[in-house]
Amino acid sequence: MKVGIIGSGTMGSGIAQVAATSGCKVKLYDTNQAALDKAKMALEKILNRLVEKTRIDEAEKLRIQNNILYVDNLKELSDSSLTIEAIIENLDIKKNLFSELESYVSKDCIIASNTSSLSIASIASSLQKPERCIGIHFFNPAPLMKLVEVIPAIQTSKEVLDKSIKTISNWKKTVAVAKDTPGFIVNRVARPFYGEALRIYEEGIADFATIDYSLKAIGGFRMGPFELMDFIGNDVNYTVTETVFSAFYFDPRYKPAFTQKRFAEAGYLGRKSGKGYYDYTEGAVKSEPNQDKVLAQQIFDRILVMLINEAADALFLNIASAEDIDNAMTKGVNYPKGLLAWADEKGINWCVEKLDNLYNEYHEDRYRCSPMLRKMNRENKSFFN
């Protein structure tokens, strides 16, 4: 299979590596020759590390490298049967690119976007044959993360959806099919992990370190929300939150936090700037959490039930199947358990009571309980059992 990847940044290069490893002939395109050279050197470094760790041998390294051709002319992708763009998250730029790309590729070529939050239907509208367009959303780093969200637009043909699922499955990835709605599965369902943590901080209930401690010590998360926001970048995470909030017609559940906005405005972007919610400069004193178990449990329960509510609502609105929602969260963002499985474990009644208590306390629509949870509680049902 011949695959064209557009954009040689971290994501584009990662997708190229995945496809090449699976035996596809890949052309990695970028307008910037320096960026292409950087991508080629980065892949060499990654593959050398894999050889050192005996994950692959020299022959396999050469096979993967020989499967990737670096090109700086979009017309070079004309023989591709699948193209995936991984460029800047700007709708107009993507639409202009797709419109030009369509004039070069065959009528059967699938044209896919790796967007994490933009409308696939809107991107598809730039094409003469919108039925060939689909969302294929990888997670960073693409070679390591098992999940890929596949998002058909309302224009996407069943043939293109089936071919895309088969191709990504052949690349040894777990596919989660999602409806074309803002944030798809992961970026929608994960919002409370950050949003509710920020709210708890703004209410003065706990500091950053204590909130992070509660998610790791009680919940088994690898990173707490503030550590993760510092890792992602406060500017990036805030922009996604703002985009999802706007796309959902300003639903209070997705409301951004002033704390994050101010940190981003101050240039406290996290690890990449040396300072975020934590100070990463040399010699900085590490923040110590309050390890009170009762407080930690309260914080964890509040964030968990908000995540469960979001997952249940995604199922209620047919965004994806229960299996795909849980796969998305465990394989896309490394959650220790699927949220719907976690709801079964805690008990649906526990979820409804926790949410109703929050709503009764705040009377904010942000804490409304999903009709899915209410119905299941009334009928004494669970998601999987």
Which residues are tagged catalytic?
Answer: 116, 137, 149, 187
Q: What 3-state DSSP class applies to 174? A: strand
Nearest to 49 by CA among 40, 61, 64: 61
For residue 136, the 8-state DSSP code is E
Q: What 3-state DSSP class applies to 30? A: coil
Given a contact cutoff of 8 angstroms between Cβ atoms, the answer to whether 41 and 28 are in contact is no
Q: What 3-state DSSP class applies to 378? A: helix
Q: Which residue has the tokens 């699927």?
A: 338
Given a contact cutoff of 8 angstroms between Cβ atoms, the answer to whether 90 and 79 are in contact is no
Distance CA(247)–CA(258), nearest Å, equals: 19
Angle among Cα 353, 359, 361 to the nearest 5 degrees reads: 105
Distance CA(358)–CA(368), nearest Å, equals: 9
